[in-house]
Each structure stands twice: as structure tokens, then as C-alpha cells.
Structure 1
Amino acid sequence: MATIAEWIRREKPTLFVSDVSVEVATLARLMGTPVVVTAMRGNRHDEAHRLAYDLADALIAPWPTFLPEPGWPSHWRAKTVHTGSISRFDGRSRPPESAVATVPARKWQ
């Protein structure tokens, strides 16, 4: 936390994105930095997740809009951006079939 706090103090980011760490999101918010939290599906009504989702300026939901999370309060839904799936392969073309290596099946003993 000290390393992150020092980085925020030094760099003064205009936005901090937390993948799933409530503690890190809270630290950034306490230091006055706007926070975006990557949301997770499922029941997130425990105190820790409620804190992170409430303090976030926005929630990133890596699922489509047509599959909303049931039971979320309206103030979470209002600040949610549904992105659909996120992949390191986004925007890349598929390699030709000839370039794809085949892995031989492993023989279990």
C-alpha cells in the first residue's frame, strides 16, 4: 500500500482503475483520485464489495448489457459500463491455420 500511495502522490493520476481490489480502490479514493472498479458477476452485497462499488466513479462490467446483474441497486447500474468480454486478442486478426501449432495429445500413465 505504501508503494501505491507513493506512486499516487508522485504521479497524481487523473483516474485509477482497480481490477478487483477493494483495498487498493479505497486507498486511491481516500487519496482523492477518481476510481474505476472492474465489477464481478454474482452476489457482491458483502460490505467490502458494497464499499468498492459505492465509492467507484464507474464500474466496468465485462459482460453484455443484455445480461444485467440481478439485484444490483440502481446507483450501481447507473454508473456501469458494459464492455462485453475483454481479451488481449481484441482487435487482432486470427493467424492463418497454417501458422497454428498443433499440440500432440498427452499420454497419461
Structure 2
Amino acid sequence: MSKLTELQTKRAKIWQQAKDFLDEKHQESDVLSTEDNTTYEKMEADVVSLGKEIDRLTKQIELDNQLKQPTSQHLTTNPAIDKQGLVNGYSQDFWNLMRGQAPVTNAL
């Protein structure tokens, strides 16, 4: 189980315990005693601190995922091939130039 899932489970468990504790104490009396109030506040503080840690881990995961993204697009297309299998006429222009049949062009 991942650290994030563990923290979320732990936070949910502590929060449920805090609610159950509060319900139990309210059945006994309408007002919490000093010790019970301290106990509940500690449980509540644990829930809040776990929530902050969960937020930190979530942001860290998001940043890691952003930084793993490629910084540029890679080439995915092939040059067009004509009927004779020549790539956009480059080869044909080269050989015509070599034979002296064509002027120098900026084919490449």
C-alpha cells in the first residue's frame, strides 16, 4: 500500500474514533470535561496534521508527474515517398546535379 493511501486510511480511522469518542461523551454529559476536551483536541489536531501531510504528498506526486513529461515533441511522421521510392525528390535532384543536368538548388 502506498504512503498516501496509508495516511488517508489512518486519518479516516482517527476521525471516526474522534467522532465516536465525542458521541460517547455527549451521551454521558452535555459538556466535555477538561481531560475529555484535551483528548478530543489531540485527536482533531492529529487529523489536521495528517491532512496537511496528505496534501504535501499529493502535491509532490503531481509535481513529479509534471516533471516526468517530455519537454519537446518527438518526430512521428515519415517524409513523403513518391511513386519511384524517392524521398521528396532529393535523390533525383542529387543525381541530376552530379550529371550536370541541373543547376544547384536548395532541395535539402
Same fold (TM over 0.5): no
Larger radius of gyration: 2
Specify the TM-score bucket, using the shorter chain as the normaliser. under 0.3
Q: With a CA cutoff of 8 Å and minimum separation of 6, indicate the structure with the bigger relative contact order.
A: 2
> If each structure's helix is expressed as a fraction of its own residues, which one has the higher value?
2
Structure number with the higher strand fraction is: 1
